Amino acid sequence: MSEQALLTAVRDANAAGSADARAQGRAALEQLLERNYDWIMRMCLAEFGNTALAQDSCQEVLLRISKGIPSFKGDSKLSTWIFVILKRTFADMRHKSVKRSQRFALEGDQQTLDRLSADSVGESAGNPERDLLADEKRRRLMSLIRELPQKQREAVLLHYFEDLPVEQAAERIGCSVSSLKTHLFRARKKLGEVIELQGERN
């Protein structure tokens, strides 16, 4: 079923009083949440690093989507609307956890980290030493990305980690394509400077 058909089923269920309509609406909502779960979870993990905090954030995002979607008017793409909820949830979660050191900690859900990483690990398969080096490289990279300004961080995650074309990434963030490219350029420049500085210190 198409996304639009699922949205229609959710809205109809909200307006109707029959048990069948409500059941169809719940099923449609579950499909919409399932279709968007993976990228939402990846963005949460990239934002916080800590697996438990990312899971809490993801559940909060899904809850807010569930509550808000009956009134979603379709003025923008659903993914763009979800991304706004995602950013607001991140802000709320950061506010709640500002005194907790786990905010920028990466913890051991390696399978999730592997899915998140843009680096290929195939070439190091079967070599434990190279696997460890690759894991450490990913951890350092994600830590640096989380320190970028918000727009730059979002641009990097959507374009490089979610593999969205610049046009789609710009639409989801709510900026022009030229602005998105500027955010990417500045992010690459900043990351390159930090990595080079750290290399000189080592």
As annotated, the residues of the chain forming the CATH 1.10.10.10 domain(s) are 126-202
> Can you state the angle between helices 19-48 and 3-15, rounded to 10 degrees?
120
Instruction: Supply the DSSP string of 72-118, one letter for each residue.
Output: ---SS-HHHHHHHHHHHHHHHHHHHTTT-GGGG---S-HHHHHHH-S
As annotated, the residues of the chain forming the CATH 1.10.1740.10 domain(s) are 1-116
Contact indicator for 52, 41 with CB cutoff of 8 Å: no
pLDDT of 37 > 50? The answer is yes
Residue type, position 175, single letter: C
pLDDT of 168 > 60? The answer is yes
Can you name the CATH fold of 126-202? Arc Repressor Mutant, subunit A (1.10.10)
pLDDT of 32 > 80? The answer is yes
Contact indicator for 78, 84 with CB cutoff of 8 Å: no
pLDDT for the residue numbered 155: 92
pLDDT for the residue numbered 74: 80
pLDDT of 108 > 70? The answer is no
pLDDT for the residue numbered 107: 38
pLDDT for the residue numbered 65: 94
CATH code of the domain occupying 1-116:
1.10.1740.10
pLDDT single digits (tens) 40-74: 999 999 888 878 888 999 999 999 999 998 888 88
